Amino acid sequence: MKFMPRLFLIPNSISERGFDADPNAVSAIAHVRLFFVEGLKSARRLLKQLNPDFPLQECLFLDYNEHTTSAQIKEYVPLLKAQDSGIISESGCPCIADPGVDLVLAAHQHNMDIIPLIGPSSIVLALMASGLGGQNFAFNGYLSKDAKERAVKIKNLEKRAKQEGQTQIVMEAPYRNQNVMDDLLAHLDVKTLLCVALDITGKAQFIRTKTMQEWRNFNVPLPKKPALFIIK
C-alpha cells in the first residue's frame, strides 16, 4: 500500500496559561519531525508543553508566515510528500486568521490527508461567550489603521449586522484597542450590541456584551491585551 503523508494542523496556546491538549492529539503527532512554523520559539515551547520528552533536536523547523512566498511553498511540497508534517501557528489555530492556507491547499492538490487537531481559537471562544449568535457570522480580520477608513468600515459592519442578521467579528492589535473602541463608541447606534473580548483564556480575561449606550456609561479604558470586538 502506497504511503499517504499527512499534514497535521496543530493549534497553539492563545495566552500565557497554555491549554490542556487532547491526549489523542499529542499521540497523533508524537512521530512528526517536520514542522512549518510561524514562530520557532513558540513552536518549540508548545511541543515541549505537549510532551516534555519531545525530541526537538531531531526536528526540522521551517519558517511559514505572512512573508512566505509561493516559490517557497513550491520548495516545501517535496518535503510534504515525503513524510508526515505539521503546521504550528504563533497562537491559535493554523489557517484561522493565521498562516497555513496555501500550504494546506498545496497538500490537497497532492492528495494528502489533512488532520486538524483540537485546540483554542480566540474567534470561536469569543463568539461562544458573546451571546450574539453563531448561526450566521463573519470574521473581518483587522480594521484599517486609517481613522476615516475605519469609521466607514464600522458603519458598514453595523449595516450588515442589521440587514442580514449577521454577527460581525473584528480583531485588533493590543496597542490599538482603545482607538478602535473610541471609534465604535462614536459611530455605532446606541442600541447596537457590542461584545468586547480581551485576553481570552488568559489571567486578565474580560468578556462583556452591552449596548453601545451601556458601553458609553461604562467608560473604562481598555488594557493592551489581544482583543476581539463583536457587533450585532
Rounded average pLDDT per 10-residue block, the chain, 232 residues: 83 84 87 96 94 95 92 93 95 90 94 93 96 94 93 97 96 92 96 97 95 92 94 96
Is residue 88 located within the same domain as residue 149? no
Where is 29: in which H helix or E strand?
none
What the block records as the C-alpha cell of 163 is 440587514
Q: Is there a domain that residue 129 lies in?
A: yes
- Let me know if residue 104 belongs to a domain: yes
Please list, in sequence order, all residues whose beta carbon lies within 8 angstroms of the beta carbon of residue 44, skipping any fewer than 6 positions away: 56, 61
Residues 163 and 215 placed together within one structural domain of the fold:
yes
The domain in which residue 101 lies consists of 6-116
Q: Are residues 137 and 165 in the same domain?
A: yes
The sign of the dihedral angle between the CA atoms of 18, 24, 26, 29 is negative
**Contact indicator for 177, 165 with CB cutoff of 8 Å:** no
Can you give the pLDDT at residue 95?
93
Answer yes or no: is 32 within a domain: yes
Predicted confidence at residue 4, as pLDDT, reads 82
Q: Are residues 106 and 135 in the same domain?
A: no
Verify that 98 and 23 share a domain, yes or no.
yes
Do 92 and 164 share a structural domain?
A: no
Residues 67 and 145 in one domain: no
Tell me how far the alpha carbon of residue 138 is from its chain's centroid: 14
Q: Pick from 93, 116, 139: which residue ends a domain?
A: 116
Is residue 1, in this structure, part of any structural domain at all? no
Q: Where are the alpha helices (DSSP H) in the chain?
A: 23-28, 40-50, 70-82, 101-109, 122-130, 147-164, 177-187, 212-218
The residue from 116, 131, 162 where one domain ends is 116
Number of domains in the chain: 2
Task: List alpha helices for 131-225, DSSP H.
Answer: 147-164, 177-187, 212-218
Say whether both 106 and 177 belong to one domain. Answer: no
Same domain, 130 and 200: yes
- The model's pTM is 0.89
Residues 112 and 193 in one domain: no
Select from 116, 142, 177 the last residue of a domain.
116
Residues 6 or more apart whose Cβ sits within 8 Å of residue 46: 10, 12, 13, 88
- Same domain (yes/no): 141, 198: yes
CATH of the domain at 148: 3.30.950.10
Within 8 A by CB and 6+ apart from 211, the residues are 190, 191, 192, 193, 194
